[in-house]
Amino acid sequence: MSNILVDLNNCNIEPIHIPGQIQSHGFLIAIDQELRIRFYSENIHTYLNLPAIDIMGKPISEIEPIIGKNEPPNFINQLIVFGKTNGFDQTNPFQTDIQGQAFHLIISQSADFFLLEFEPSLSDLNLDIQKMVGRSISEMLADKNLQNLLNNTALQIKSIISYDRVMIYKFAEDGHGEVVAEAKNDDLEPWLGLHYPASDIPQQARELYKVNLTRLIANVHTEPSRILAEEADAERRLDLSPSQLRAVSPIHIQYLKNMGVHSSFSISLIYHKELWGLIACHNYTPRFINYKSRESAKLIGQILSSALEFRQDEENQSIYDKYKAAVSQLSKSMLQSIRIEDALTSQSITLMDVADVSGAVLVYENSTVRLGVTPDDEQLISLISWIGETISEPIYYTQNLSSIHPEAAAYKAIASGMFVCTISKELGEYVIWFKPEQMQTIQWAGNPEKPAEVDVEDGILKISPRKSFETWSETVIGTSKLWTNAEVKSILRLKGEITYAINQKASQIRVLNEKLKQAYEELDTFSFTISHDLKNPLTTIKSYSQLLMRDKNMSAQSLGILGRIVASSDRMDQMIREVLEYSRIGKTSLTKVPIDVREMVDELVRDLRLVYGTFDLEFTLGDTPVLHGDPVMMSQVFSNLLSNAIKYSSQSNPARVSVQGTITESEIVYSITDNGIGIDIRQLPSVFDLFKRMDNVQDIEGTGVGLAIVKRIVEKHQGKVWVDSELGKGSTFYLAFQR
Ligand code: ADP
């Protein structure tokens, strides 16, 4: 490990769990499952008066009298058997006497080996730590405030283990650390508030902090002791992750030396199984604290961890509840009979309440609603089009918008953080939230851009941690606060609610459609019944009028009136017939058969010539492709169109009416053309409406029902009907049916 080829990331790959050596304030023996000695530390001879023969490969029992003067034979075996079933926590530390000196034996398991680590049981402390711990804990927890809790903990740890400086170090999401609480000797400069680059504690070291909750480096100036193994070079195989004595990485040793630290002790703080931070203790002279003291300090760390967890959870929960209530309220409003955009933006609770934001924008149904502080209209238009082109995820968020969309630098003060929730990408509908820029000035302990310095030694590049710890401040720009998990969850829930509400409204429209259909059917039935019922009294009126007309004494004036009654009855009868026809279409089902249009049209024209008298009519019949449809209804269609063509061109001399059928790729199209009075272009859109008659037909009889019947029948056949007409020149009605 002494010569590492450099790349600045290499402390991330340093295998610190298998350093092949231990710190020399204790010694180590590793035995296998058969209790044979497979490894031991070279410094064993400074602690044990061993026989001349090499103990490597020998059963541990052979040296039991030396490592446990007063212990019964096989005591190591007994400890291991007990520890394997009950956990080594129960046996650690085992008090033993080695050549008149009190030692702690700490046993742990590493792969197939058992590590037996021996440390002096005498601390450099002369306090009864265990007694102090109880009192410390109650003092620590006395204050509910999070910062006070941290400050108290630092103070208590300092008073228990008497290190010169005790810091509570908290890791940010990017891995860098910040000193959030500190207790120190008066003569030391404060490090509170300083930030340390993430590279100061590489990832694999963080993992080990999770396995071993305390870590002591007793003296950075002592030489580590090599681990010897049965086979040469095999010492590296011994995984020291669970070890107490594991040697320190030379890089870390150098780092501490650069800071002037002689001894360091740390306690891990865990939040939901992850490393939240460390209680880091520095001493400017060597310092050894024994296993029991370390365990007591660990207990404080664990209590702080759970207090942190509890407080953080409590805080998170109350924020979460607040967001949840806002989402529920919005969801309720959306399901009420107000528009979705109003529900989200104009009630007492709005989009602004589902996260900690300073502005929000709803882009929905072709309108954009802005809430709070947002980019201006022009900037928004450009941002929304960029979102449309770039973002395909259903939700997307950033705390540094200008880094991905440089144009946003212009409004970074109000919108460095952006959260986009896509309602519909196709329709370009989004909800967008903004967080303002958070100008952060970070006090770095040393330049984080240069976490390590490179030395050249013997022509080999060597990495060494930075020597300069001079405070260096950096201002972070264009960045907002992070989007928290609670916010992401809240927005996701809102997204679900919006989708649900939109679907609900869509089905409400479907329900309305159904109701409308029903109403139409009822109307059909109504008009059918009423028309039917009107027919009888009308016949009676007509018959009695005609009867009266036969009376010889009737005056000429009365006869005239009766004549008009009869004529009106006829008109009314005609109208009733047509309304009946119209409403019957909705009721009858289709029976489609092939129709010989030529025969049908010929017959109709023959009849119509009789009805409309003897005026000059030139009728032409072109191609007549077969139509598939209901023969009675189709005859009604042609009859209405032909009769209109003839009727409304009767004043032209000669009247020219033609029928032409064509077959296109997908349709059969029929056109009925006349050279009659034509239709005013402004009235064309309503020509197929029921009872609608144009202004130019007042002198020509009609009911305004015929074309409505045509349209209804054609649509019932899934066809189309439209008209092309010019006032005074004539009209062409088109019918198109799928082939
Ligand atoms: P009507 O019984 O009045 O003919 P329709 O429903 O058949 O009722 O037609 C509606 C109106 O459309 C007519 O009143 C007329 O104004 C206009 N129209 C229909 N066909 C023609 C046509 N071939 N030429 C001119 N106007 C027409």
Instruction: Give 52-62 pLDDT, tens digit per residue.
Output: 678 888 899 88
Percent of the chain residues past pLDDT 70, beyond the cut: 91
Instruction: Tally Cβ neighbours within 10 Å of residue 265.
Output: 24
Cβ distance 305 to 271 under 8 Å? yes
For residues 420-427, give the mean pLDDT.
90
Average pLDDT for the chain: 86
- How much distance in Å is there from the Cα of 722 to the middle of ligand 1? 13
- Indicate the pLDDT class of residue 575, thresholds 50, 70 and 90: confident
Higher-pLDDT residue of 466 and 567 is: 567
DSSP 287: -
Could you tell me the two tokens for 294?
């370390």
The pLDDT of 329-355, averaged and rounded, is 91
Mutational pocket test of ligand 1: of 644, 675, 692, 695, the residue with most ligand atoms within 8 Å of the beta carbon: 644
Taking the mean position of all CA atoms in its chain, how far away is CA 590?
A: 51
Determine the residue of 649, 683, 693 to mutate for testing ligand 1's pocket, defined as the one with the most ligand atoms within 8 A of the Cβ atom. 693
Q: What is the pLDDT of residues 167-181, one digit of tens each?
A: 999 988 778 888 999
- Least trusted range by pLDDT, from 397-401, 719-723, 731-735: 719-723
Q: Is 705 in the pocket of ligand 1 (CB under 6 A)?
A: yes
- Which pLDDT value is given to residue 306? 86
Residue 394 has pLDDT above 70, yes or no: yes
Residue 694 CA to ligand 1 centre (angstroms): 7
- In this model, does residue 475 exceed pLDDT 50? yes
Q: What is the largest CA-CA distance in the chain?
A: 162
Assess whether pLDDT exceeds 90 at residue 165. Answer: yes
* Residue 579, pLDDT score: 79
Closest to 457 (Cα-Cα) out of 12, 7, 5: 5
Q: Is 676 in the pocket of ligand 1 (CB under 6 A)?
A: yes
Model pLDDT, residue 4: 42
pLDDT at 612 over 90: no
Please, what's the b/e burial string for 681-700 (b: 16 or more CB within 10 A of its CB; e: otherwise)?
eeebeebbebeebbebbeee
Q: Does the pLDDT of residue 8 top 50, yes or no?
A: no
Q: What is the pLDDT, as a whole number, of residue 10?
A: 55
351 within ligand 1 shell (Cβ under 6 A)? no
How far away, in angstroms, is 707 Cα from ligand 1 center? Answer: 7
Query: Residue 624 Cα, ligand 1 centroid: separation in angstroms?
Result: 24
Beta bridge partners of 214: 267
Task: State residue 537's pLDDT score.
Answer: 81
pLDDT at 466 over 70: no
The Å distance, Cα 688 to ligand 1 centre, comes to: 9
94-98: strand order across its sheet:
21-22, 225-229, 37-41, 27-31, 113-120, 101-110, 94-98
The verdict on the CB of residue 674 being under 6 Å from ligand 1 is yes
Q: Is 677 in the pocket of ligand 1 (CB under 6 A)?
A: yes
Of 35, 214, 183, 199, nearest in space to 119 by CA = 214
Measure CA 137 to chain center. 42
Q: Is the confidence at residue 319, as pLDDT, over 70?
A: yes
Average pLDDT of the segment spanning 322-331: 94
User: What's the gap in Å between 592 CA and the centre of ligand 1?
Assistant: 27
The dihedrals phi and psi of 192, each to the nearest 5 degrees, come to -60, 135
In order, the DSSP letters of 504-568 are HHHHHHHHHHHHHHHHHHHHHHHHHHHHHHHHHHHHHHHHHHHHHHT-TT--HHHHHHHHHHHHH
Average pLDDT over residues 546-573: 88
Cα-to-centroid distance, 644 and ligand 1 (Å): 6
Lowest model confidence (mean pLDDT) among 259-263, 328-332, 416-420, 474-478: 474-478
Q: Are 26 and 247 in contact (CB under 8 A)?
A: no
CA of 702 to the centre of ligand 1 (A): 8
Is the pLDDT assigned to residue 47 strictly greater than 80? yes
Confidence of residue 1 (pLDDT cuts 50, 70, 90): very low
115 CA distance to ligand 1 centroid (A)? 105
Q: How far apart are CA 8 and CA 14, in angstroms?
A: 12
Choice among 108-112, 204-208, 626-630 with the minimum mean pLDDT: 204-208
359 lines ligand 1 (CB under 6 A): no
The verdict on whether omega for the bond into residue 465 sits within 30 degrees of 0, i.e. cis, is no
Give the pLDDT confidence score for residue 529 in this predicted structure: 73
**Which residue CA neighbors atom 25 of ligand 1 most closely?**
678
Q: Which residue's CA lies nearest to atom 20 of ligand 1? A: 644
Q: What pLDDT is stored for residue 232 in this prediction?
A: 61
721: how many CB neighbours lie within 10 A of its CB? Answer: 21
What ligand 1 atom has the least distance to the C-alpha of 733? 23
Confidence of residue 206 (pLDDT cuts 50, 70, 90): confident
Quote the ligand 1 centre to 606 CA distance (angstroms). 20
In this structure, are strands 94-98 and 101-110 parallel, antiparallel, or unpaired?
A: antiparallel
**Cα of 721 from ligand 1 centre, angstroms:** 14
> What is the distance in A from the centroid of ligand 1 to the CA of 357?
63
| Ligand 1 center from residue 578 Cα (angstroms) | 14
What pLDDT score was predicted for residue 3?
39
Please tell me the predicted confidence (pLDDT) of residue 235.
Answer: 63
Per-residue pLDDT, 426: 84
Q: For ligand 1, say whether the CB of 730 is within 6 Å of any of its atoms.
A: no
Mean pLDDT on 675-699? 89
pLDDT at 631 over 70: yes
Which atom of ligand 1 is nearest the CA belonging to 672? 23
The confidence score (pLDDT) of residue 682 equals 79
Per-residue DSSP letters for 609-650? HHHHTT--EEEEE-----EEE-HHHHHHHHHHHHHHHHHTTT
| CA-closest residue to ligand 1 atom 21 | 644
* Residue 717 three-state SS: coil
User: How much is the CA Rg of the chain, to the nearest whole Å?
Assistant: 48
Mean pLDDT of 641-670: 94
Ligand 1 mean position, distance from CA 679 (Å) = 8
Say yes or no: CB of residue 687 within 6 Å of ligand 1.
Answer: yes
Distance of CA 276 from the midpoint of ligand 1 (Å): 84
The answer, yes or no, to whether residue 337 has pLDDT greater than 60, is yes
Residues 444-453, mean pLDDT to the nearest whole number:
61
Cβ(582) – ligand 1 distance below 6 Å: no
* Separation between Cα atoms, residue 424 and residue 665, nearest integer Å: 36
Q: Is the CB of 702 under 6 A from ligand 1?
A: yes
* Weakest-pLDDT range from 188-202, 205-219, 640-654, 686-700: 188-202
Half-sphere exposure at residue 73, Cβ-oriented, CA atoms within 13 angstroms: 3
Amino acid 454: pLDDT: 57
**Least-confidence region, from 117-126, 132-141, 276-285, 505-514:** 132-141
Contact yes or no for 307/144 (Cβ under 8 A): no
- Residues paired with residue 728 on neighbouring β-strands, in sequence order: none
Ligand 1 atom with least separation from CA of 578: 2
pLDDT (mean) for 244-273: 89
Distance in angstroms (rounded) separating the CA atoms of residues 40 and 234: 12
User: Out of 6-15, 20-29, 477-486, which region has the weakest mean confidence (pLDDT)?
Assistant: 6-15
The string of pLDDT tens digits covering residues 485-520 is 889 889 988 998 998 888 888 777 777 777 777 777
Tell whether ligand 1 has an atom less than 6 A from the beta carbon of residue 645. yes
For the cut 60, the answer to whether the pLDDT of residue 233 exceeds it is no
Cβ of 431 less than 6 Å from ligand 1: no
- The model's confidence at residue 472, banded by pLDDT at 50, 70 and 90, is low
Q: Return the ligand 1 atom nearest residue 707 CA.
A: 6
* CB contact at 8 A, 679 and 727: yes
Nearest atom (ligand 1) to Cα of 678: 25
Does the global pTM surpass 0.75?
no
Q: List the strands of the sheet with 617-621, edge to edge.
A: 617-621, 655-663, 667-674, 730-738, 720-726
Q: Within 13 A of 230's CA, how many CA atoms are on the CB side?
A: 11
Q: What is the number of the ligand 1 atom nearest to the C-alpha of 640?
A: 7
pLDDT for res 535: 79
For residues 701 and 573, is the Cβ–Cβ distance under 8 A? no
Judged against a pLDDT cut of 90, whether residue 570 lies above it is answered with no
Mean pLDDT, range 455-483, rounded to an integer: 67
Whether residue 484 has pLDDT greater than 60: yes
Q: What average pLDDT does range 443-472 have in this prediction?
A: 60
- Cβ of residue 631 lying under 6 Å from some atom of ligand 1: no
Give the pLDDT of residue 314. 82
Atom of ligand 1 nearest to the CA of 700: 3
Looking at the predicted structure, is the pLDDT value of residue 126 above 80? no
Top mutation candidate among 694, 714, 722 for ligand 1, by most atoms within 8 Å of CB: 694
So what's the pLDDT on residue 2? 38
The pLDDT > 90 percentage for the chain reads 42
Task: Among 687, 725, 732, 734, say which to mutate for ligand 1: greatest number of ligand atoms within 8 Å of CB.
Answer: 687
CA of 704 from ligand 1 middle (Å) equals 7
656 lines ligand 1 (CB under 6 A): no
Ligand 1 centre distance from Cα of residue 584 (Å): 21
